Every structure is written in structure tokens, then in C-alpha cells.
Structure 1
Amino acid sequence: MVGDLSYMLPEFIQSFLAGAAASGALTSALRLITKAAFENSKDSLRKGAILFFTISTFFELLCVLLYAFVFPKLPIVKYYRSKAASEGSKTVDEDAKQERKGNKQLLWENIDYALLIYTLTLSIFPGFLSEDTGSHSLGTWYALVLIAMYNVFDLMGRYVPLVKLLKLESRKLITATILCRFVLIPAFYFTAKYGSQGWMIFLTSFLGLSNGYLTVCVLTSAPKGYKGPEQNALGNMLVLFLLGGIFAGVTLDWLWLIGKGW
């Protein structure tokens, strides 16, 4: 999907990413609803989980079907695909046969982008927020509220780049901002240990806001300056970076458990 959108308009990528964040916010809302609905019933956790995953699976399958059968028939999609096809952009493998920068060169030119965003984000969210936030007045709702706040502000952050004055397009500034976010790791650690739940909610909201903002800045700015085949390949590579960052973040998430009986 991102590979397709990379050789279209940047606004399409922003809309897609905002939709992905909206799904996260709706997922959090659904989890809060199922918890409230079954909180006092027998096997409440099991019933809530079954309802949650049933609804989520339905919408996931619906999205797959829409992408497979409806998306390719949209006039705007047909236009950009035909335009890209005229430049020889169909798949990343076919792109390699065209006269363009190689995949290896594209990789090294953009490796400092999306990987670091999600390495940090997923090293904190959701594992640390669910396991290491202490006991507070919100009780069992606390972790759910934190995750919901992250998802809501992640959605908000993906609309901030629509304001041109607030959008980062310089590679150096984007990379510097991504690296600066790593100060959130000690901030979360000390807040969980010494701070109140208000500060934790604030940090979680900022984590989500910066994650959404930088994701859009990276995925809309990175393809600029490349040809159609290169944009297609780069879009797919950036998704690979995101997955790599997610894997690294989830792996590093276990480090928070060191010294806690593990």
C-alpha cells in the first residue's frame, strides 16, 4: 500500500497513515467499551477478549477485501498506476532492471529514518506501559488509559504536518529529532519510579504525538527527489524499516523487565 502511495501525492500517504492511527484509537475505544461492559461479569476478561478480537478481525478482513477489489478500481489509482507503469514501476524486483538507483543505494540513503522511530516507540509502547507503571488511583484502567492516550495523540500527530510551517522536510532535522526522542527512555523510567500518573499520561501522550508526527514527515519526505520506480521501491523499503523498527522495539521492550525477577 505504501509502495503504491509513494509515487502518488504525499497527501495520500498522510491520509493513509492517519487512517492507520485512527484504527489504533478506535481499537483502544473498543477495548475500553468491552472492559466496561464485562467488568462485573463472570469470565469478564475472556468475554471481552472474544468480542474485541471478533470485531477487530471483521474489520481487518473488510480492509483486505477493499484493498484487493475496490482500491485498484478507483480512477485516481488507475491514473497513477498507469503513470508509474509508463516509467517501468511495477514491483521492486522489476524496478531493479530499470535505469535507477539500486536498492542497496536507496537503503543506505534512508536507513536512518523509520527504523529508529519505531525502535524507540515500541520499546516503551505497549509493553512498558502495561507492565511497569506501578499502582495508581485508576487501578486496572490505568494501562488502558495510557494506551488510549498514546493512540489518540498518535492520530493527532499525523495531522500536524498538514500545517506547512510545522512540517519537517530536512533530513538532518528529522534525524536529529528522531535521535532526541531517545531521552524519553530515562524520562519514562524515572517517571514510573518517582512520578505521578499525571506525568506518565503526559509523557505517553507526547510519545504518541511525536511518533505520529515523525512517521508522516518521514514517509512523505523520503520519496521526494526520486523517480517513479525509485519511489515505489523506497516506499516498500520504508515499510520494511518500520517492521524492523517494530521488531527491534518489541525485543528491547523486554529490557524493562531486567531486575524484576527475570
Structure 2
Amino acid sequence: MTIPSGSGVPAPMLKGKHKAIVVCWFLGLGSLVSWNSILTIEDYYYDLFPKYHPSRVLTLVYQPFALGTMALLTYNEAKINTRKRNIAGYMLFTASTLMLIVVDLVTSGKGGVGPYIGICAVVAALGVADAHVQGGMVGDLSFMCPEFVQSFFAGLAASGALTSALRLLTKAVFEKSKNGLRKGVMLFLAISTFLEFLSVLLYAFLFPRLPIVKYYRAKAASEGSKTVSADLAAAGILKPEKQEEFRALLHAADDDKPPERLSNKELFLQNTDYALDLFLIYVLTLSIFPGFLYEDTGKHQLGSWYSLVLVAVFNVWDLISRYIPLVECLKLESRNGLMIASLSRFLLVPAFFFTAKHGDQGWMIMLTSFLGLTNGYLSVCVLTEAPKGYKGPEQNALGNLLVLCLFAGIFSGVVLDWLWLIGK
């Protein structure tokens, strides 16, 4: 829901919108920077564990924990303290990224089954953290401005672009030094850990105190939401001396007695097409990225840089495309149009297959660019359109349901990615 100017909402309640958009972007960055760190240092893991298919195995370890945790959290969404859920997720991201450094230091950067199992355990923890944060944040932002959701998902894509840029930079800086690959990875993971810690601080202390965020959360509370009370308390709204401000927020929201909210089943049935869109988008993307790009595109002139360049190209176009829907005439709002676009992306499967066998690196870079472009664009179109027309608690629940379908698509895509190995 966007508050139009002149809607009767007191001007003080609208302060901080642009700041909130920037914070949402950083929170999106923090939501995936750890996982994208794993994806972009896999050239290092292929050096340590050449026989263990790191890009495919680590992704396969990550996703069941993310999907299983997300399913539990979605089922209990209405009873969960969203503030504690998101802070716990960001703290787990921080600790897990730090543990990647610790595992490498303890094992002195050596390969073997033991270190590989340790890394797999850290990756599983990252999956649990992802489920806490993505579902919690999307549900939280779904009853606020659509611009907040768009900015959050732009931040998700930015994490990929940023980690790719940092990885290319650290590889270039340390390439000719002794143990250069390892040194670059350690510096890279240290930067990622700092960004995760910054996300904890932003969500815990800055975001809940922005006037527009307080307004939307008070509005959700007036509509029957029980998940925002801790956030209102953190903003000082529920203190006795702040009761007047709380009443003003509720009055600004123009609330009536909240109707009985729709069940998760009813919400899902009303939005089956949106849920299927997200599932199809991420099934296709994860069946190609990153496993196929790391292992099945052959040898080319770029040598050891080739897979890193492909990942970077995907991430950059994924980021750019998430800003396209901000241009109203370029945003795809038709439910049928979104479904057709999501299904038509499956033509990329034979395109990647034949390009890997017969095309040069230029064609592969072009295809990877299109994969990233369509992934980001369609994701934002779906997630900013779907929650419209519902009350705050329903928008929160629907946001969680859509992220669950997104995770289900990712998991299915990761499993299907192994089919590329048939015949090898």
C-alpha cells in the first residue's frame, strides 16, 4: 500500500520514506550477501575439493534447510514475533559467515572430507538464517509501500553484484601472490561478515524508529496483526508516554473493527498464479545458476575467470532488472502476462544446452545476461503486485507464502540442476 499525498495522513507520519527505502536496500543486501559469498568463492572450493562438486552440493545442502525452516515459519507466521525472527536471522548470517573464516583458519586452508563437512554445516545454518530473514522481511514489508519491497529485492540482487565485483577485485589483487586465492577469499569473507553485522544494527535500531515504518506497523496492529507489537515497543510507541502518538497513528490509519482475516489456504487459493509464477521463475534460474555455469560451459579464452565472469554478468543484470518496474509503463501487471513470461523462460534450457556445446563465450555471456534480466524483473513484478487489496495481517501472511513458493522453486531447480550431468 502506498500512501498518496493528500490522503489525510498527517505529514509527520510520512517522514523517512526515502531513508526507509535505502535501509530496505541494505537489509536486502544483508539477506543474501552470505549465500552469494559462497557462490562467488566456489572457484576456491573447486581448488580445495575438486571431486566433490561444490557448486551443486553446497546449493543442495543449503536449500532443504531453507525450505523446511520456511515452511515451519510460514505455518506459524501469525504467532511469531517478527522482530525477533529477523534479528535472529541476521545474527545467524553474521555468525555463519564468520565461521567460514574460522573453518578455513583451523584447517589451514586444506581440503579433505572433514573441512568439507564443516563447510556444509555452515551452509545449512545459512539456509536456516535465509528462511528467517527473507520470509520475515517480505511479510513485514508487504503491508508497507510496494517501493519498500522493490528496494529490498533490489538489495538482494545487489548482494550478488557486489560479491561478484569484490571477488573479481580480490582475485586480481592476490592472483600472483603466494596463496593468493586463499588470501582473496579471506578478505572477501571478512567484508561480507561486516555487512551482515551492519544489517543487524540497521534492522534492530534504525528501521523501527522511522515515522513511516511506525505508521504502517500501527496500521497493521489496528487491523489485527499480532506480529508487530515488538517492533512498536522497540520504537517506543507502546510506552505510556507514547500512547498519544499511538492513538494518532491509529487515527491516521482510519481503522474500523478489523474483519476476520483470511486463512493461509484461502490466501494461497486466491493467489495460486502468483505463487506458481515465483516457483517457475526460480526452478528455471536455479537449474542453470550456478551449477551449470561452473561445470558445464566448457573451456574458453577467459580461463579461470570464465565462471566468475558468468556469475558476475548474471548478478549485474539481475540487479539492473529489479529497477525496471519502477518505470510504470514498463511494469508487467497482467496476471496472464506474468504467467506467459514465466513459462516462456523455459526456452532458455535448450538455448543453454546448444550454446554450451556449439557456441563461444560471447553467446554464453549474452544468454546468462538474459537469464539474470528476466529473473529479477519478473520477481519484482510478482512480489509488488500480489499483496495488494488485503489487510496488514493478510499481506504479511501472503508475503510469507510467496517466499515459501520461491524457496520451493529454488530447491526444485537445484535438484534438476544435477540432470545436466547425465551422460558425463
TM-score bracket for this pair, using the shorter chain length: over 0.9
Distance in 2, matches of 1:73 and 1:224, equals 25
Q: Is the 8 A contact 2:267 2:398 kept in 1?
A: yes
Distance in 2, matches of 1:5 and 1:80, equals 9
Residue 254 of structure 1, aligned match among 412, 418, 422? 418
Q: Structure 1 residues 68 and 242 mapped into 2: Cα distance closer, same or farther (>3 Å)?
A: farther
Q: Deviations over 1:190-249 (max 9, x none)?
A: 101111111100000000010110010010001112222211110111122222222222
Q: Which amino acid aligns with 1:104?
A: K
Distance in 2, matches of 1:80 and 1:6, equals 10
Residue 184 of structure 2, aligned match among 44, 48, 53? 48
Displacement of 1:171 in angstroms is: 1.3
Structure 2 residue matching 1:113: 3-state secondary structure:
helix
Matched, 1:133 2:269: no
Displacement of 1:91 in angstroms is: 3.6
Q: Which amino acid aligns with 2:185?
A: A
Matched, 1:177 2:341: yes
Matched, 1:24 2:188: no
Summarize the alignment of residues 26-175 of structure 1 with structure 2, pairs less than 5 Å apart.
26-91=162-227, 99-108=260-269, 109-110=271-272, 111-175=275-339
Matched, 1:6 2:142: yes
Distance in 1, matches of 2:287 and 2:153, equals 21
Distance in 1, matches of 2:166 and 2:290, equals 16
Displacement of 1:49 in angstroms is: 1.7
Summarize the alignment of residues 184-199 of structure 1 with structure 2, pairs less than 5 Å apart.
184-199=348-363
Q: Is the 8 A contact 1:91 1:233 kept in 2?
A: no
Q: Which amino acid aligns with 1:151?
A: N
Displacement of 1:122 in angstroms is: 1.0
Q: Is the 8 A contact 1:7 1:228 kept in 2?
A: yes
Unaligned runs of 5+ in 2: 1-136, 229-257
Structure 2 residue matching 1:112: 3-state secondary structure:
helix
Displacement of 1:98 in angstroms is: 6.3
TM-score by length of 1: 0.93
Q: Deviations over 1:20-60 (max 9, x none)?
A: 21121111000101111111122222222212111112211
Identity of aligned residues (%): 72
Distance in 1, matches of 2:174 and 2:298, equals 24
TM-score by length of 2: 0.58
- Residue of structure 2 in register with 1:209 after alignment: 373
Distance in 1, matches of 2:160 and 2:375, equals 13
Q: Which amino acid aligns with 1:184?
A: L
- Residue of structure 2 in register with 1:228 after alignment: 392
Structure having the higher Rg:
2
Greater mean deviation of Cα atoms: 232-241 or 83-92 = 83-92
Q: Is the 8 A contact 1:120 1:182 kept in 2?
A: yes
State the number of aligned residues. 256
Q: Which amino acid aligns with 1:85?
A: A
Distance in 1, matches of 2:417 and 2:181, equals 24
Q: Which amino acid aligns with 2:298?
A: G
What is the RMSD computed on CA atoms of the aligned residues? 1.6
Distance in 2, matches of 1:163 and 1:71, equals 26
Q: Structure 1 residues 247 and 213 mapped into 2: Cα distance closer, same or farther (>3 Å)?
A: same
Distance in 1, matches of 2:212 and 2:370, equals 35
Displacement of 1:153 in angstroms is: 0.4
Distance in 2, matches of 1:160 and 1:90, equals 34
Unaligned runs of 5+ in 1: none
Q: Is the 8 A contact 1:161 1:213 kept in 2?
A: yes
Q: Structure 1 residues 225 and 193 mapped into 2: Cα distance closer, same or farther (>3 Å)?
A: same
Distance in 2, matches of 1:170 and 1:232, equals 22
Q: Which amino acid aligns with 1:103?
A: N
Q: Is the 8 A contact 2:276 2:405 kept in 1?
A: no
Distance in 1, matches of 2:202 and 2:193, equals 14
Displacement of 1:180 in angstroms is: 0.6
Greater mean deviation of Cα atoms: 74-83 or 235-244 = 235-244
Greater mean deviation of Cα atoms: 212-221 or 36-45 = 36-45
